[in-house]
Amino acid sequence: MFKNTLLSAFILFTLNSYSQVTFPIDFESGITTENFTDFDGGIGSVVDNLYSDSENESLQVGKIIRDGGQIWAGSYLVLDNNIDFTTNTAIAMKVYSVSPGLHVKFKLENNDGAATERDAYTSTYNQWETLTWSFAGEPTNTYERLVLMFDFGNTGNGNDSSTFYFDDIDQFDPTGGLAQIDMPITYDDSSIYYSLIPFGDEEGSTDIIYNSFTNNSSVYVAKSSSAANWAGVTVSNESGLENNIPVTSSNSKMYVHTYVTGSSNTGIPVRLKIENKNDPTQSVETEAYTTVVDAYEVLEFDFNNEATGTAALNDSYPFNMASLFFNFGSAGDDQTVYYFDNISFGSPISLGLDSVSNESFKLYPNPVEDHLYIQSSDTTIKNIDIYNILGKKIYSTSSENRLDMSSYSAGIYFVKINNSTFKIVKK
Protein backbone atom coordinates (compact mmCIF):
# COMPACT_ATOMS: atom_id res chain seq x y z
CA MET A 1 0.00 0.00 0.00
CA PHE A 2 2.78 2.36 0.96
CA LYS A 3 4.67 1.45 -2.21
CA ASN A 4 1.57 2.15 -4.35
CA THR A 5 1.08 5.53 -2.64
CA LEU A 6 4.67 6.50 -3.37
CA LEU A 7 4.29 5.41 -6.99
CA SER A 8 1.12 7.45 -7.43
CA ALA A 9 2.77 10.51 -5.89
CA PHE A 10 5.77 10.11 -8.18
CA ILE A 11 3.55 9.87 -11.24
CA LEU A 12 1.58 12.95 -10.17
CA PHE A 13 4.79 14.90 -9.55
CA THR A 14 6.17 13.88 -12.91
CA LEU A 15 3.05 14.95 -14.77
CA ASN A 16 3.02 18.30 -13.02
CA SER A 17 6.70 18.89 -13.73
CA TYR A 18 6.17 19.07 -17.48
CA SER A 19 3.82 21.82 -18.45
CA GLN A 20 1.55 21.72 -21.43
CA VAL A 21 2.58 23.90 -24.35
CA THR A 22 -0.51 25.13 -26.18
CA PHE A 23 -1.63 28.35 -27.86
CA PRO A 24 -1.60 31.03 -26.59
CA ILE A 25 1.95 30.90 -25.20
CA ASP A 26 2.48 33.74 -22.73
CA PHE A 27 5.20 32.41 -20.35
CA GLU A 28 3.25 33.68 -17.34
CA SER A 29 2.74 30.22 -15.88
CA GLY A 30 3.53 26.63 -16.66
CA ILE A 31 6.11 26.97 -19.44
CA THR A 32 9.67 27.07 -18.11
CA THR A 33 13.20 27.14 -19.48
CA GLU A 34 13.10 23.31 -19.52
CA ASN A 35 10.50 23.45 -22.31
CA PHE A 36 13.06 24.92 -24.73
CA THR A 37 15.27 22.74 -26.90
CA ASP A 38 18.35 24.62 -28.10
CA PHE A 39 20.31 24.01 -31.29
CA ASP A 40 23.52 25.15 -32.97
CA GLY A 41 24.37 28.07 -30.67
CA GLY A 42 20.95 29.24 -29.49
CA ILE A 43 19.98 29.33 -25.80
CA GLY A 44 16.28 29.64 -24.90
CA SER A 45 14.87 30.48 -21.47
CA VAL A 46 11.99 32.08 -19.56
CA VAL A 47 12.94 35.32 -17.79
CA ASP A 48 11.44 38.40 -16.16
CA ASN A 49 10.22 41.10 -18.53
CA LEU A 50 12.81 43.84 -18.07
CA TYR A 51 11.31 46.00 -20.81
CA SER A 52 7.65 46.28 -19.87
CA ASP A 53 5.79 48.93 -21.87
CA SER A 54 2.28 49.63 -23.15
CA GLU A 55 2.68 46.98 -25.85
CA ASN A 56 3.67 44.24 -23.43
CA GLU A 57 3.08 44.45 -19.70
CA SER A 58 3.71 40.74 -19.06
CA LEU A 59 5.75 39.75 -16.02
CA GLN A 60 7.62 36.97 -17.82
CA VAL A 61 8.74 36.48 -21.43
CA GLY A 62 10.79 34.14 -23.57
CA LYS A 63 14.45 34.87 -24.28
CA ILE A 64 16.94 33.55 -26.83
CA ILE A 65 20.66 34.33 -26.77
CA ARG A 66 22.75 33.44 -29.81
CA ASP A 67 26.39 32.81 -29.07
CA GLY A 68 28.49 31.37 -31.88
CA GLY A 69 27.40 28.22 -33.64
CA GLN A 70 25.53 28.38 -36.93
CA ILE A 71 23.81 31.22 -38.77
CA TRP A 72 20.51 29.42 -38.14
CA ALA A 73 21.02 28.98 -34.39
CA GLY A 74 17.90 29.12 -32.23
CA SER A 75 15.59 27.20 -29.96
CA TYR A 76 12.23 25.48 -30.25
CA LEU A 77 9.11 24.56 -28.30
CA VAL A 78 7.08 21.38 -28.81
CA LEU A 79 3.32 21.76 -28.69
CA ASP A 80 1.14 19.19 -27.01
CA ASN A 81 -1.04 19.02 -30.12
CA ASN A 82 -0.42 19.49 -33.82
CA ILE A 83 -1.42 22.89 -35.20
CA ASP A 84 -4.89 23.30 -36.68
CA PHE A 85 -4.81 25.71 -39.63
CA THR A 86 -8.46 25.30 -40.62
CA THR A 87 -9.39 28.86 -39.64
CA ASN A 88 -6.50 30.47 -37.78
CA THR A 89 -3.93 30.47 -40.57
CA ALA A 90 -1.49 33.02 -39.16
CA ILE A 91 0.77 33.19 -36.10
CA ALA A 92 1.59 36.38 -34.18
CA MET A 93 4.38 36.97 -31.68
CA LYS A 94 5.59 40.00 -29.73
CA VAL A 95 9.31 40.71 -30.20
CA TYR A 96 11.84 42.96 -28.48
CA SER A 97 15.36 43.54 -29.80
CA VAL A 98 18.03 46.23 -29.87
CA SER A 99 18.32 46.06 -33.67
CA PRO A 100 15.89 47.39 -36.31
CA GLY A 101 15.26 45.40 -39.48
CA LEU A 102 15.88 42.16 -37.60
CA HIS A 103 15.29 39.00 -39.65
CA VAL A 104 13.09 36.63 -37.64
CA LYS A 105 12.47 33.22 -39.18
CA PHE A 106 9.55 31.19 -37.84
CA LYS A 107 9.71 27.51 -38.75
CA LEU A 108 7.24 24.70 -38.15
CA GLU A 109 8.37 21.05 -38.00
CA ASN A 110 7.33 17.61 -36.94
CA ASN A 111 9.24 14.46 -36.02
CA ASP A 112 8.62 12.94 -39.45
CA GLY A 113 10.73 15.59 -41.19
CA ALA A 114 7.90 17.75 -42.56
CA ALA A 115 8.73 21.45 -42.25
CA THR A 116 7.76 24.90 -43.49
CA GLU A 117 9.09 28.35 -42.66
CA ARG A 118 8.21 32.04 -43.02
CA ASP A 119 10.15 35.30 -42.57
CA ALA A 120 9.34 38.60 -40.90
CA TYR A 121 11.38 41.71 -40.12
CA THR A 122 11.21 44.09 -37.17
CA SER A 123 10.37 47.72 -37.92
CA THR A 124 11.59 49.19 -34.65
CA TYR A 125 13.96 48.50 -31.75
CA ASN A 126 14.18 48.93 -27.97
CA GLN A 127 10.44 48.45 -27.74
CA TRP A 128 7.94 45.67 -28.17
CA GLU A 129 6.19 45.10 -31.48
CA THR A 130 4.03 42.34 -32.91
CA LEU A 131 5.23 40.33 -35.91
CA THR A 132 3.00 38.02 -37.93
CA TRP A 133 3.60 35.06 -40.21
CA SER A 134 0.99 33.68 -42.60
CA PHE A 135 0.77 29.91 -42.92
CA ALA A 136 -2.29 29.90 -45.16
CA GLY A 137 -2.36 26.85 -47.35
CA GLU A 138 -0.39 24.67 -44.94
CA PRO A 139 -1.92 21.30 -44.00
CA THR A 140 -3.79 20.98 -40.73
CA ASN A 141 -2.57 18.68 -37.92
CA THR A 142 0.90 18.28 -39.42
CA TYR A 143 3.25 20.47 -37.36
CA GLU A 144 3.94 20.42 -33.63
CA ARG A 145 7.31 22.15 -33.23
CA LEU A 146 7.73 25.96 -33.12
CA VAL A 147 11.28 26.82 -34.20
CA LEU A 148 12.49 30.38 -33.53
CA MET A 149 15.53 31.78 -35.34
CA PHE A 150 16.41 35.42 -34.62
CA ASP A 151 18.86 37.41 -36.77
CA PHE A 152 18.81 34.55 -39.23
CA GLY A 153 21.82 34.46 -41.53
CA ASN A 154 24.30 35.93 -39.04
CA THR A 155 26.43 34.40 -36.31
CA GLY A 156 25.61 35.48 -32.77
CA ASN A 157 28.22 36.92 -30.41
CA GLY A 158 26.44 36.46 -27.07
CA ASN A 159 26.07 40.18 -26.29
CA ASP A 160 23.03 42.49 -26.31
CA SER A 161 22.85 42.57 -30.11
CA SER A 162 22.42 38.79 -30.07
CA THR A 163 19.83 38.74 -27.27
CA PHE A 164 16.15 38.63 -28.19
CA TYR A 165 12.92 38.62 -26.21
CA PHE A 166 9.53 37.34 -27.31
CA ASP A 167 6.07 36.77 -25.88
CA ASP A 168 2.40 36.04 -26.58
CA ILE A 169 2.71 33.50 -29.40
CA ASP A 170 -0.74 32.74 -30.74
CA GLN A 171 -2.75 31.83 -33.80
CA PHE A 172 -5.30 34.14 -35.39
CA ASP A 173 -7.54 34.42 -38.41
CA PRO A 174 -6.04 37.17 -40.65
CA THR A 175 -9.20 37.34 -42.75
CA GLY A 176 -11.34 38.54 -39.89
CA GLY A 177 -14.02 36.21 -41.19
CA LEU A 178 -14.01 37.83 -44.67
CA ALA A 179 -14.47 35.82 -47.87
CA GLN A 180 -11.52 34.42 -49.81
CA ILE A 181 -10.31 36.54 -52.74
CA ASP A 182 -11.61 35.57 -56.18
CA MET A 183 -12.01 36.88 -59.72
CA PRO A 184 -12.70 39.65 -60.56
CA ILE A 185 -10.38 41.40 -58.10
CA THR A 186 -11.49 45.01 -57.67
CA TYR A 187 -10.21 45.86 -54.17
CA ASP A 188 -13.58 47.52 -53.58
CA ASP A 189 -15.62 44.82 -51.84
CA SER A 190 -15.52 45.18 -48.06
CA SER A 191 -16.70 41.56 -47.63
CA ILE A 192 -13.54 40.11 -49.25
CA TYR A 193 -10.15 39.54 -47.65
CA TYR A 194 -7.69 41.14 -50.06
CA SER A 195 -4.18 39.87 -49.47
CA LEU A 196 -0.79 40.27 -51.15
CA ILE A 197 2.45 38.27 -51.14
CA PRO A 198 5.46 40.27 -52.37
CA PHE A 199 8.50 38.30 -53.49
CA GLY A 200 11.96 38.75 -54.97
CA ASP A 201 13.00 41.73 -52.86
CA GLU A 202 15.83 42.02 -50.36
CA GLU A 203 14.55 42.01 -46.79
CA GLY A 204 11.12 43.17 -47.81
CA SER A 205 12.29 46.56 -49.09
CA THR A 206 9.85 46.52 -52.00
CA ASP A 207 6.88 48.59 -50.90
CA ILE A 208 3.64 46.82 -51.75
CA ILE A 209 0.53 48.14 -50.07
CA TYR A 210 -3.11 48.78 -50.62
CA ASN A 211 -4.97 51.62 -48.96
CA SER A 212 -7.16 50.07 -46.32
CA PHE A 213 -8.51 53.42 -45.04
CA THR A 214 -11.15 53.14 -47.76
CA ASN A 215 -12.97 50.31 -49.48
CA ASN A 216 -12.03 51.77 -52.83
CA SER A 217 -8.34 51.22 -53.42
CA SER A 218 -5.58 50.13 -55.75
CA VAL A 219 -2.34 48.32 -55.13
CA TYR A 220 0.88 50.32 -55.01
CA VAL A 221 4.13 48.64 -56.08
CA ALA A 222 7.56 50.25 -55.76
CA LYS A 223 10.22 47.99 -57.25
CA SER A 224 13.40 48.98 -55.43
CA SER A 225 16.88 48.91 -56.92
CA SER A 226 17.73 46.05 -54.56
CA ALA A 227 14.91 43.87 -55.87
CA ALA A 228 15.50 40.85 -58.05
CA ASN A 229 14.77 41.23 -61.77
CA TRP A 230 11.86 38.84 -61.27
CA ALA A 231 10.40 40.60 -58.21
CA GLY A 232 6.63 40.79 -58.12
CA VAL A 233 3.50 40.28 -56.07
CA THR A 234 1.01 37.43 -55.74
CA VAL A 235 -2.54 38.76 -55.52
CA SER A 236 -3.75 36.35 -52.86
CA ASN A 237 -2.48 34.57 -49.79
CA GLU A 238 -1.00 31.05 -49.89
CA SER A 239 -4.51 29.56 -50.16
CA GLY A 240 -4.87 31.05 -53.62
CA LEU A 241 -8.15 32.10 -55.23
CA GLU A 242 -11.50 30.77 -54.13
CA ASN A 243 -12.20 29.30 -57.58
CA ASN A 244 -10.05 28.24 -60.51
CA ILE A 245 -9.53 30.73 -63.34
CA PRO A 246 -11.42 29.07 -66.26
CA VAL A 247 -8.71 29.60 -68.86
CA THR A 248 -9.08 27.64 -72.11
CA SER A 249 -7.49 27.88 -75.54
CA SER A 250 -10.65 29.59 -76.82
CA ASN A 251 -11.10 31.89 -73.79
CA SER A 252 -7.58 32.78 -72.76
CA LYS A 253 -7.48 36.48 -71.87
CA MET A 254 -7.17 38.37 -68.59
CA TYR A 255 -7.14 42.12 -68.01
CA VAL A 256 -5.47 44.41 -65.48
CA HIS A 257 -5.75 48.15 -64.98
CA THR A 258 -2.24 49.59 -64.61
CA TYR A 259 -0.82 53.01 -63.89
CA VAL A 260 2.86 53.98 -64.18
CA THR A 261 4.31 57.13 -62.67
CA GLY A 262 7.83 58.40 -62.01
CA SER A 263 9.01 57.42 -65.50
CA SER A 264 8.69 58.82 -69.01
CA ASN A 265 9.16 55.39 -70.57
CA THR A 266 6.44 53.39 -72.26
CA GLY A 267 6.77 49.82 -73.47
CA ILE A 268 7.48 48.56 -69.93
CA PRO A 269 6.92 44.77 -69.81
CA VAL A 270 4.33 43.57 -67.30
CA ARG A 271 4.17 39.81 -66.83
CA LEU A 272 1.14 37.93 -65.55
CA LYS A 273 1.55 34.36 -64.30
CA ILE A 274 -1.20 31.99 -63.28
CA GLU A 275 -0.48 28.66 -61.63
CA ASN A 276 -1.70 25.76 -59.55
CA LYS A 277 -1.06 26.71 -55.93
CA ASN A 278 -0.44 23.07 -55.09
CA ASP A 279 1.98 22.49 -57.98
CA PRO A 280 3.92 25.56 -59.21
CA THR A 281 5.21 23.60 -62.22
CA GLN A 282 1.68 23.80 -63.61
CA SER A 283 1.70 27.40 -64.79
CA VAL A 284 1.52 29.69 -67.79
CA GLU A 285 2.97 33.19 -68.24
CA THR A 286 2.40 35.98 -70.71
CA GLU A 287 3.33 39.65 -71.07
CA ALA A 288 1.81 42.96 -72.05
CA TYR A 289 3.47 46.34 -72.46
CA THR A 290 2.52 49.76 -71.16
CA THR A 291 1.63 52.44 -73.69
CA VAL A 292 1.13 55.51 -71.47
CA VAL A 293 2.56 57.07 -68.32
CA ASP A 294 0.78 58.94 -65.53
CA ALA A 295 -2.56 57.54 -66.63
CA TYR A 296 -4.56 54.36 -66.23
CA GLU A 297 -4.80 51.88 -69.07
CA VAL A 298 -6.18 48.38 -69.45
CA LEU A 299 -3.55 45.78 -70.30
CA GLU A 300 -4.67 42.63 -72.08
CA PHE A 301 -2.91 39.34 -71.31
CA ASP A 302 -3.44 36.45 -73.73
CA PHE A 303 -2.21 33.12 -72.40
CA ASN A 304 -2.24 31.65 -75.90
CA ASN A 305 0.87 33.80 -76.38
CA GLU A 306 3.11 32.47 -73.65
CA ALA A 307 6.21 34.43 -72.60
CA THR A 308 9.44 33.44 -74.29
CA GLY A 309 11.07 30.46 -72.62
CA THR A 310 7.98 29.47 -70.62
CA ALA A 311 5.53 26.60 -70.97
CA ALA A 312 2.57 26.80 -73.31
CA LEU A 313 -0.98 26.93 -71.99
CA ASN A 314 -2.34 23.62 -70.72
CA ASP A 315 -5.98 24.28 -69.96
CA SER A 316 -6.30 21.04 -67.99
CA TYR A 317 -4.35 22.63 -65.14
CA PRO A 318 -6.27 24.11 -62.18
CA PHE A 319 -5.14 27.75 -62.24
CA ASN A 320 -5.95 29.22 -58.80
CA MET A 321 -3.15 31.68 -58.12
CA ALA A 322 -2.04 34.82 -60.01
CA SER A 323 1.11 36.95 -59.80
CA LEU A 324 2.19 40.21 -61.46
CA PHE A 325 5.76 41.21 -62.34
CA PHE A 326 6.41 44.84 -63.29
CA ASN A 327 9.30 45.62 -65.63
CA PHE A 328 10.08 41.93 -65.67
CA GLY A 329 13.73 41.12 -66.36
CA SER A 330 15.03 44.54 -65.31
CA ALA A 331 16.14 46.08 -62.05
CA GLY A 332 14.04 48.60 -60.17
CA ASP A 333 15.05 52.25 -60.08
CA ASP A 334 13.60 53.53 -56.76
CA GLN A 335 11.62 56.16 -58.67
CA THR A 336 9.14 54.41 -60.92
CA VAL A 337 5.95 53.40 -59.13
CA TYR A 338 3.31 51.02 -60.44
CA TYR A 339 -0.35 50.73 -59.53
CA PHE A 340 -2.75 48.00 -60.47
CA ASP A 341 -6.46 47.37 -60.02
CA ASN A 342 -9.46 45.51 -61.47
CA ILE A 343 -7.98 42.11 -62.38
CA SER A 344 -10.52 40.23 -64.48
CA PHE A 345 -10.93 37.23 -66.75
CA GLY A 346 -12.73 37.12 -70.10
CA SER A 347 -13.51 40.82 -70.41
CA PRO A 348 -12.10 44.05 -68.92
CA ILE A 349 -13.78 45.97 -66.16
CA SER A 350 -14.72 49.51 -67.14
CA LEU A 351 -12.22 52.13 -66.10
CA GLY A 352 -15.08 54.06 -64.57
CA LEU A 353 -14.38 57.17 -66.63
CA ASP A 354 -16.59 60.26 -66.99
CA SER A 355 -18.05 60.00 -63.50
CA VAL A 356 -18.29 58.08 -60.25
CA SER A 357 -21.42 58.08 -58.14
CA ASN A 358 -23.63 56.50 -55.54
CA GLU A 359 -27.19 57.23 -54.45
CA SER A 360 -26.19 60.51 -52.80
CA PHE A 361 -23.38 62.01 -54.89
CA LYS A 362 -22.05 62.15 -58.43
CA LEU A 363 -18.50 63.33 -59.18
CA TYR A 364 -17.39 64.27 -62.69
CA PRO A 365 -15.35 64.33 -64.89
CA ASN A 366 -13.18 61.33 -64.05
CA PRO A 367 -10.32 61.49 -64.96
CA VAL A 368 -10.24 65.16 -64.03
CA GLU A 369 -7.90 67.76 -65.46
CA ASP A 370 -8.92 71.04 -63.84
CA HIS A 371 -12.17 71.15 -61.84
CA LEU A 372 -14.01 68.26 -60.23
CA TYR A 373 -17.75 68.83 -59.88
CA ILE A 374 -19.87 67.33 -57.14
CA GLN A 375 -23.58 66.84 -57.73
CA SER A 376 -25.71 66.06 -54.70
CA SER A 377 -29.22 64.60 -54.76
CA ASP A 378 -30.90 65.49 -51.49
CA THR A 379 -27.94 64.95 -49.16
CA THR A 380 -26.23 67.89 -47.48
CA ILE A 381 -22.47 68.02 -47.91
CA LYS A 382 -21.00 68.31 -44.42
CA ASN A 383 -17.32 67.74 -45.15
CA ILE A 384 -15.02 66.88 -48.06
CA ASP A 385 -11.56 65.35 -47.61
CA ILE A 386 -9.05 64.53 -50.34
CA TYR A 387 -6.44 61.80 -49.76
CA ASN A 388 -3.45 60.83 -51.88
CA ILE A 389 -2.69 57.22 -52.85
CA LEU A 390 -0.77 56.64 -49.61
CA GLY A 391 -3.74 57.61 -47.48
CA LYS A 392 -2.50 61.06 -46.43
CA LYS A 393 -5.14 63.78 -46.17
CA ILE A 394 -4.05 66.68 -48.40
CA TYR A 395 -7.17 68.87 -48.47
CA SER A 396 -10.27 69.42 -46.39
CA THR A 397 -13.28 71.70 -46.66
CA SER A 398 -16.74 71.93 -45.14
CA SER A 399 -18.77 72.27 -48.33
CA GLU A 400 -18.03 72.82 -52.02
CA ASN A 401 -19.61 71.77 -55.28
CA ARG A 402 -16.49 72.40 -57.32
CA LEU A 403 -12.95 71.33 -56.40
CA ASP A 404 -9.98 72.93 -58.13
CA MET A 405 -7.54 70.09 -58.85
CA SER A 406 -5.54 71.83 -61.56
CA SER A 407 -2.44 72.09 -59.36
CA TYR A 408 -2.50 68.41 -58.30
CA SER A 409 0.04 66.01 -59.72
CA ALA A 410 -1.21 63.28 -62.04
CA GLY A 411 -2.22 60.17 -60.17
CA ILE A 412 -4.90 58.58 -58.01
CA TYR A 413 -6.80 60.43 -55.29
CA PHE A 414 -9.63 59.55 -52.96
CA VAL A 415 -12.39 62.06 -52.33
CA LYS A 416 -14.37 61.40 -49.16
CA ILE A 417 -17.70 63.19 -48.92
CA ASN A 418 -19.40 62.70 -45.55
CA ASN A 419 -19.06 58.92 -45.21
CA SER A 420 -18.77 58.07 -48.92
CA THR A 421 -15.41 57.63 -50.68
CA PHE A 422 -14.72 57.93 -54.43
CA LYS A 423 -11.60 57.08 -56.45
CA ILE A 424 -10.54 59.91 -58.79
CA VAL A 425 -7.86 59.88 -61.48
CA LYS A 426 -6.04 63.18 -62.06
CA LYS A 427 -4.68 63.60 -65.59
pLDDT tens string 243-292: 999 999 999 999 999 988 888 899 999 999 999 998 999 999 999 999 98
Q: How far apart (Å, rounded) are the C-alpha atoms in residues 223 and 333?
A: 7
Q: How far is CA 129 from the centre of its chain?
A: 17
Of 345, 349, 338, the residue nearest 412 (C-alpha): 338
Confidence at residue 136, expressed as pLDDT on a 0 to 100 scale: 86
Asked whether 121 and 77 are in contact (CB, 8 A), the reply is no
Confidence at residue 208, expressed as pLDDT on a 0 to 100 scale: 56
Q: Residue 212: count other Cβ atoms within 10 Å of its Cβ.
A: 10
- Name all domains of the chain by residue range, CATH numbers in brackets: 20-172 (2.60.120.260), 179-345 (2.60.120.430), 356-426 (2.60.40)
Residues of the chain with pLDDT under 50: 1-18, 202-204, 206, 210-215
Confidence at residue 2, expressed as pLDDT on a 0 to 100 scale: 34
**What confidence tens digit (pLDDT) does each residue in 133-166 have?**
989 889 999 999 999 999 999 999 999 999 999 9
Q: How far apart (Å, rounded) are the C-alpha atoms in residues 37 and 193?
A: 37
Confidence at residue 355, expressed as pLDDT on a 0 to 100 scale: 65
